[in-house]
Structure formats: structure tokens, C-alpha cells
Amino acid sequence: MQASVPTLTQSSLCGFSVGTPVLPTVQRHAVSGIRLTEIDRAPEESLDTRREDELRDVEVKEEESEAGDPAWLRRRASQKKKLSHSRLDRVRLRRIEANARERHRMHGLNNALDSLRKVVPCYSKTQKLSKIETLRLAKNYIWLLSEILSTDQKDI
DNA sequence: TAGGCCATCTGGTCCT
DNA sequence: AGGACCAGATGGCCTA
């Protein structure tokens, strides 16, 4: 007894126009300025090592702009004149560390999104779905699979 | 050139 | 106090 199972097609899954041009992965990375080494780095490399790299990058950037403090710091300094020099340094350090953590967090989020891209239909090694496309497609895919499941159960 | 997509920075809020 | 999370702002790059 064969049930009428919904056909799994790209057009039924994609909530967006299939013809939408999607840039190749490498090109996208060039676009976004992500270093390919960040994404393609071997998984066995520890997160700590990556964090150290990120922090080092930030320190370099900070040194480059040493000529003048960032706007947020100047603002804060003027608003809270009572802030001692050491306290200001501490605030600055905490901001830098928070930025690094935030960057790390977003990288984790992007890695999870990449994993999702690989299990969703439409996945291509040469064409990368955008974030929003990936999420919409995943939602539609889950919906379709649950439809298939419920259809099968009715036939039992 | 406008619009889309993205990474990053930042300050606010909540939680431990 | 400090970390996680979030949303807004910003700027860079690419394509139509």
C-alpha cells in the first residue's frame, strides 16, 4: 500500500526563489572579509588557541588605533570623569575581551549554521545559502518531513 | 548606484 | 563583577 507522499522538491522546500543567485562559498568569504582559515581550520585545533588568535588580532587593531581612543571610550571618559586611569584601563580591557567573546560566539553560531546548510536539501558545495535562506529552508524541510511522517502513520 | 549579505563593535539586559 | 545573549549601528564587498 503506497501512500501519497508529498513530493520532496526544491521548490516546495525553498521559501524563496530558486533562481536567486547565490555566490560561491569562497567568493562569499572574500565578500564578508572572513578569513578562510577561520572556517576551514582543523577541528582538532583547540578553541583556546583560536581565542588567543582572535585576542591577538584585536590587540593589533587596538595598537593601530592607539593615536586616539575609540569614540566609546572617549565618551565614557568624559561622562564619568571620576574614572581613574587604572579603572579606565580596566574598562577598556573588558570591552576588548567582550568583543572577542562576542566574535567567538558569532563564529559558533555561524558554524552551527554551516552544519545546518549541510543537512538541508539544496546544499551545494559551490553555492552557499544565505543565513535567512538556510533558516527558511530548514523550517520548510522539517515541516515536510513531519507531513510525510503523519501521512505514513495514517496508512498503518 | 541601490540593495543584499555579512562581520564586527557596542551598550543594554539578564543571569550566576 | 563578569559572562552570555541580543539588537542596533556601521562599514565593506558584491551583484543587478
Position of cell 581550520?
Answer: A41
Q: Is residue A4 part of a domain?
A: no
Q: Is residue A10 part of a domain?
A: no
What's the whole-number mean pLDDT along residues A22-42? 31
Number of domains in chain A: 1
Position of cell 560566539?
Answer: A105
CATH number of domain containing A121: 4.10.280.10
- Residue A34: enclosing H or E segment and its boundaries? none
Output the average pLDDT for chain A: 62
Q: Is residue A38 part of a domain?
A: no
Q: Is residue A106 part of a domain?
A: yes
Q: Which domain holds residue A136?
A: 85-153
pLDDT in tens, A79-122: 444 567 777 888 888 889 899 899 989 998 998 998 899 898 87
pTM: 0.61
Can you tell me the distance from the alpha carbon of A88 to that of A94, in angstroms, rounded to the nearest whole number?
10
Q: Is residue A51 part of a domain?
A: no
Q: Is residue A134 part of a domain?
A: yes
C3 closest protein residue (CA to C1'): A98
Q: CA–C1' span, A112 to C15, in Å? A: 27
Query: In this complex, which protein residues place their C-beta within 7 A of any atom belonging to strand C?
Result: A 21, 23, 27, 30-33, 90, 94, 97-98, 101-102, 105
